[in-house]
Amino acid sequence: MNTQNFCFVLKQNSHLLREGCFGLEKENVRVNQDGTLALTPHPAVFGDKGKHPYITTDFSESQVEMITPPLPSVGEALGFMETLHDVVTENIGDELLWPQSLPPVLKENQEIPIAHYSGEFKDKEYYRQKLAGTYGKERQLISGIHFNFSFSEKLMDILLKSGVCGNSMEEVRETVYFRVVRNFLKYRWLFIWLYGESPLAEETLNVISLKTGEKQPMKCGVSLSLRTSPLGYRNREEFFIDYSSLEAYNMSIDKLIRENRIDGPHELYLPVRIKFLEKDNGSPSYIEVRIVDLDPFTKSGVCASAIYFSHLLLVYSLLKEEKGSLTEEELQRATRIQDMASCYGRDEKKELKCCSITVQQKATSILEDMERILSEYGVLDNETYHQEMQHNLYLVQNPEKRIGMVLYENINRVGFVPFHLEKA
């Protein structure tokens, strides 16, 4: 691919860079008034959980999942999710939706009911039983948000007609989405550092160690996002996925399946995933960002600034120069930096071993580069996106104002359960 020509075409059509389809998926655990896990079945008012397009269950029968359709803006996706949240809240009686990614109070030997399915969906239940045995039910109760994004079809058509990144729509999609994912994987730690919101777990929570299989307390360092830490929601082992091309990507996943290390692509608990729809003939359809924590300060549980920044980071990842591949060593380094942001994110003076500078200095450097490139391409001409970019620059200069830091102070002051019950 001729990068110079590719960037020229994008700049000529910069008004399309902000456009696309936006979707959100969100999980909340249902709890009783005292913060203990609700053991009631998924509310019948929502109908068949296997068929409802917007409201279903995740791992547990006690874990509600809400899903928006693809919508034309971040604002509309946020609004739709708030409506779903209201509908669920109004139909669970005296129960509450737990507003934290990390689980509520779990009693000793707590029964955690796996989501029940029947008929054609029974395989979903069997799959959850397998996950429970591998990762432990406590870990499976960890909840969060997935942000789904696809670029404008108009932009894809223009790229195809220009011939700068492929001679078919399948090739264009492959070039665009794999480039974005390669860059996003390198910069994902910055999102966690800015918007991590699971700094502390309930003090009695233990999860199965992915290394030893033994139960251990859910604690690490001066944590900001335990959900995205090595103790959180990830695979038992670290996999090397080849993102250099669609063919290489498929081969690396097929190899994991053949070796019985995963059941299928759905068992890859990666920070970001490429998703495929039948209509796109096996080429990438959209990107799923999986590192967004629930926000206890927002009614719907979705922090708008976190979603806008995620979108900006995806667009930046398209525009930022890169070499077209990630080595296993580079992927491992990106994971180590993610772990640092997750486990030591409250220490802004923590030094990055790779660069001999502090996390705050590195974050400042990336955000300033983001502002420069996104401004050059006109992405920040929109007032909302301009304000969100300025908000992130403010946070990096005032790290104590980050939402995860404010959350940590509140939990310390009030207590984990009382604080989250009040927010619920």
Question: Which domains, from first to last, does the chain contain?
Answer: 3-423 (3.30.590.20)
What is the C-alpha separation between 316 and 377, in angstroms, rounded?
Answer: 10
Token pair 């296993």 in the structure block, residue: 328
Q: What are the structure tokens assigned to 90, written together?
A: 């109004």
Is beta strand 55-57 parallel, antiparallel or unpaired with respect to 145-151?
A: unpaired
What is the C-alpha separation between 405 and 399, in angstroms, rounded?
Answer: 8
- Residues 223-250: pLDDT tens digits? 999 999 999 989 888 999 999 999 999 9
Token pair 């480039």 in the structure block, residue: 179
Q: Check: CB of residue 61 under 8 Å from CB of residue 116.
A: yes
Token pair 């608990």 in the structure block, residue: 269
Q: What are the structure tokens assigned to 255, written together?
A: 């190899």
What is the C-alpha separation between 184 and 252, in angstroms, rounded?
Answer: 19
- Compute the residue count for the chain: 424
Residue 110 DSSP class: -
**Left if phi > 0, otherwise alpha if psi is -120 to 50, otherwise beta: which for 281?**
left
Q: Check: CB of residue 65 under 8 Å from CB of residue 27.
A: yes
C-alpha distances in Å from residue 42, one per residue of 50, 324, 415? 11, 45, 29
Q: What are the structure tokens assigned to 185, written together?
A: 């994987």
C-alpha distances in Å from residue 268, one per residue of 241, 262, 315? 10, 7, 24
* Number of other CB atoms surrounding residue 294 within 10 Å: 28
The distance of Cα 343 from the centroid of its chain, to the nearest Å, equals 17
Instruction: Please report, in tens digits, the pLDDT of each residue of the chain (424 residues total).
Output: 788 899 999 999 999 999 999 999 999 999 999 999 999 999 999 999 999 999 999 999 999 999 999 999 999 999 999 999 999 999 999 999 999 999 999 977 678 999 999 888 889 888 899 888 888 899 999 999 999 999 999 999 999 999 999 999 999 999 999 999 999 999 999 999 999 999 999 998 999 888 888 889 999 989 999 999 999 989 888 999 999 999 999 999 999 999 999 988 888 999 999 999 888 778 999 999 999 999 999 999 999 999 999 999 999 999 999 999 999 999 999 999 999 999 999 998 888 777 788 999 999 999 999 999 999 999 999 999 999 999 999 999 999 999 999 999 999 999 999 999 999 9
What is the C-alpha separation between 178 and 322, in angstroms, rounded?
Answer: 11
